[in-house]
Amino acid sequence: MHSSLKSYLSAHRKTVDSAIGKFLPAARVRPATVHEAMRYSMFAGGKRLRPILTLAAAEACGGEIEPALPSAAAVECIHTYSLIHDDLPCMDDDDVRRGMPTSHVKFGEGVAVLAGDALLTIAFKILAKTVPIAKSRYTVADFVADLADTAGSRKLIGGQILDLEGEGENVKLTPAQLRYIHESKTAALLSCSVRLGGMAANATPKKLEALSEFGHSVGLAFQVIDDILDVTQTSEKLGKSAGKDEASDKSTYPAMFGLEKSRKEAARLTTKALKALKPFGKKGERLEQIGHYLLDRDY
């Protein structure tokens, strides 16, 4: 990892954690069960990649991080909700997430469903607190519409639907269907994360398009790497059950193309993502480092 990137990630993670801590209701606020469950999953030790990308995108556009904090917290709420629901017995049925028992294991299924629902809902309340910078070309409605579109039936939910339908012994996804799942359930939220950061910094339409393309390609690479790590890493290292894809005969990049081709594909997608950063010149260096880090990560 680039030497200054480590301290950058750690400082921005702290900033994001502190913002999330303030935006969420305290654990003791009534009804405490749901607030405790929301905080449990939010502070279970996620890498905070999406909100850090939001802040880095704002900086790449010459902006401050402060106006981007509601966006950063909102994307992490959506991400955490999707993990809670994805881990439920009716979805992927996982017991461990972020190195801790999953929400339904700790609190029961009913509370886990509701904690996910509450995080999904509060994401929009938090995002609505955005104060666009003076003379910004973007309104709060633009931020909200973008996140709603990303979390909705055509993207996150759509990807999850196809993922569900692709399970089962006799179902084999085509490479195009697998790509659609990756685009919808993973790349869409990474792309939205950087777009919201750009909008908070009043990015020009050209730079917003470049961020969108960067997020999309880096998001696809992220999911390919995630599938590779599922095969090559231990559950302890990942903080979630490793080897599950193979055990459940899930269609993944490594299952379809093998590890070597998958690594090459992740590298190709990362190169494509980094090319999109051209309009940012030197200001895009941090996003470039993060792109490399996401490709080289081992958990």
- Residues engaged in binding ligand GRG (CB under 6 A): 46-47, 49, 79, 82-83, 85-86, 91, 98, 156-157, 160, 185-186, 223, 226
CB of 49 or CB of 56, closer to ligand GRG: 49
Give one word for 93, left, alpha or beta, with left for phi > 0 and alpha for psi -120 to 50. Answer: left
Instruction: Provide, rounded to whole angstroms, the least separation between the CB of residue 287 and ligand GRG.
Output: 16
Q: Are 95 and 239 in contact (CB under 8 A)?
A: no
Instruction: Provide, rounded to whole angstroms, the least separation between the CB of residue 183 and ligand GRG.
Output: 12
Q: Which residue is nearest to ligand GRG (CB)?
A: 46
Q: Which residue has the tokens 């809902």?
A: 121
CB atoms closer than 10 angstroms to residue 3: 7
Token digits of residue 201: 């910094």
Taking the mean position of all CA atoms in its chain, how far away is CA 134? 29
CB of 46 or CB of 63, closer to ligand GRG: 46
Q: Are 159 and 185 in contact (CB under 8 A)?
A: yes
Instruction: Provide, rounded to whole angstroms, the least separation between the CB of residue 142 and ligand GRG.
Output: 22
CB of 38 or CB of 203, closer to ligand GRG: 38
Instruction: Provide, rounded to whole angstroms, the least separation between the CB of residue 274 and ligand GRG.
Output: 20
* Three-state secondary-structure class, residue 24: coil
The single-letter DSSP state of residue 26 is P
Distances (CA, A) of 273 to 23, 74, 190: 32, 24, 12
Instruction: Provide, rounded to whole angstroms, the least separation between the CB of residue 49 and ligand GRG.
Output: 5
* Three-state secondary-structure class, residue 271: helix
CB of 202 or CB of 252, closer to ligand GRG: 252
CB of 36 or CB of 226, closer to ligand GRG: 226
